A and B are shown apart, each in its own frame.
Chain A
Amino acid sequence: MLIVEAKGLAKRFGNVHALRGLNLRVGKGVTGLVGPNGAGKTTTIGILLGLLKPDGGKALVFGFDCWRDSFEVRRRVRVLHEKPAYPGSFTGRRYLEYVAEFYGIRNPEEQAVRLLSSVGFSEAADRKINTYSAGMVQRIGLAQALIGEPELVILDEPTANLDPIGRAEFLEKIRELHQEHGISFLISTHILGELERVCDQVAIIDRGVVKEQGEIEELTKKHQARNYMITVSNPQVLSREIKKSGVAKQIRVEGGKVFVEIDSRQHFQEEVIRIIREHKLELVAMGPQYGMLESIYRDVMEEKEIA
């Protein structure tokens, strides 16, 4: 079932074309919206929330038009904006109580307490927001995005202000919320390694269009890894022999490892194994240089460059 559907979205800011006919389909689950800075991710989110009017095309969330029925969309969707700002004179608890009121929730005080404890924030709840660190603001942001059992939560660069442990905890929380409460997430980021741990689907966006989208599993089959990293007892020999065999597009030795870029995976693995056996090399490790999602992303972006 589709929860977000955008067809031919276009948006211009002066002479800058932020979106150029973007088509996006998001089903239930955790979806990653990935792309380089300036790809159009935040603009897409702004349109989905009815904060920006598209110049062309149409966006639907739960079947509601994002511009015409934006109030209905905002009742069902929560968001954690990129670099969110909350009034510094409020305490975290008071802020959440207000947000709960805005959503028409019956017991805002209870809801605030529950959310504060769920994001591990009870101790600092009565401090003013202007005394919070960036990570604490982000946690309050996550808490306000979970108010009232939402159906879809949009997170725009959610881990940008967090330290590595905070990032891991944050992503774990997302996975848990999806699995236990069935909340769908649309996560916009350019940090692919993190997304891979939580996402079921991904949409790759660049220069205002979606280049590729679908289930990560399907995309992995379609876009096989092109960059490999091999650790052997004698990397110089392996590098020389791979070059001779002609299966690699580019090859380099760095830090005792052989980095290979290939055009096609066909014959590559067999060829590497043959060289290792022939030259009696010891194979320590061999695998894609990048993560699954990063490999897909690189493949899609390289296809674009070739085109």
Chain B
Amino acid sequence: MPENSSKTPGRLSSLIRWELEKTFTFPTLAIIIAVVLYITVPASFGGSRGPSQMPSLVEMERSFASSWTSALSHNVSTSFMYSVFIFAALASNSLSRDMSRGYMRVLLSYPIGRTKFFLSKILVLLFVPFFIFMCCLLFVAALVFPGLFLHMPPSSVAYMMVVMLVQTFFILAISLSASLYIKQPVMSFLASVVTLIAMDQISFYLSAPYKYLLPTMGTRILMDYHFYPSRFEFQYTSGDLLMSLFGMVIVPAVILIVNLVYFKRRFQT
């Protein structure tokens, strides 16, 4: 063995840094900035009134808060739709592009465990919604500082973020599967978008509790559980909530494990 190699080869931390550096570049960074602006600018400037009529700080706070809660509760379909496009694009950019351009063949020739490789991709992709969320908070905080979050407890902000991550987790499980099997970025992106939108549409036709297996309805019930407890008690049962958690967490986790096994069988450990 080479004398100067003292560290463990193929460490997860190196792979995560590699993946972050590769992901957070054009066009991904441009997409993220666009999303942050899309979410925060209307909220910060009071939506339709435009920047010429600056709202008061209180209005801005309310506006921002309602933008997030409405995006994830009243209007979960919209939130889901743009998440589908963003994360399907990121997943296909991360996996299919690596395969089709030959980056993966080169990378897998290094002493890198396949599980670590796969895990680094998932972790970095899951970091993106977290990053978007934090950017939104900072962006608005910079405009309306101080006292931004006073009316909303930090636990609620954290809860919104977790729901966003859960939704992203589902989207990524489907998108990564498409990327892994189709191996062509544009085709895998289209396949992911079509599959996810079809799932969303199907969820409206299913009866309870099965409709909560899929993202839009699943996300809505999770948001109502925290932000609108009275509505939750009136509309849903605990079985619906369990079904939502199963569909949004367990099912994508199983899908990702199956993908990992397939990936390891193809490329060895």
Contact = CB atoms under 8 A, between A and B. Distances in A.
Contacts of A86: 103, 106
A67 B268 CA distance: 7
B6 A106 contact: yes
B231 interface: no
Main secondary structure of the interface of A (DSSP, over half): loop
Interface in A18-54: 49-51, 53
Contact of A102 (B14, B22, B101, B102): B14
Interface string B47-65: 0000000000000000000
Nearest to B113: A71
B105 A104 contact: no
Nearest to A154: B109
A79 B109 contact: yes
A83 interface: yes
A105 interface: yes
B236 to A, nearest CB: 46
B9 A89 contact: no
Interface residues of B, number: 35
Contact of B9 (A51, A83, A104): A104
Contacts of A178: none
Contacts of B112: 74, 102
B4 A107 contact: yes
- Interface footprint category on A: 20 to 34
Contacts, number: 96
B108 A51 contact: yes
Contacts of A85: 101-103, 105-106
A70 interface: yes
Contacts of B265: 53
A51 B112 CA distance: 12
B228 to A, nearest CB: 44
B1 interface: yes
Contacts of A102: 9-10, 14-15, 110-112
Interface string A109-125: 00100000000000000
Contact of B7 (A84, A90, A98, A105): A105
B5 interface: yes
A209 B106 CA distance: 26
A77 B144 CA distance: 56
A251 B103 CA distance: 50
Interface of B: 1-11, 14-15, 17-18, 21-22, 25-26, 101-103, 105-106, 108-113, 265-269
Interface of A: 49-51, 53, 67, 70-71, 74-76, 79, 81, 83-87, 89-90, 94, 98-99, 101-107, 111, 148-150
27 contacts: A71-B269, A75-B1, A81-B102, A81-B105, A83-B102, A84-B102, A86-B103, A89-B21, A89-B22, A89-B25, A98-B14, A98-B17, A101-B7, A101-B11, A101-B14, A102-B9, A102-B15, A102-B112, A103-B111, A104-B5, A104-B7, A104-B8, A106-B6, A111-B4, A149-B2, A149-B4, A150-B2
Given A89-B25, A104-B11, 5 more contacts: A75-B9, A85-B101, A90-B22, A148-B4, A150-B2
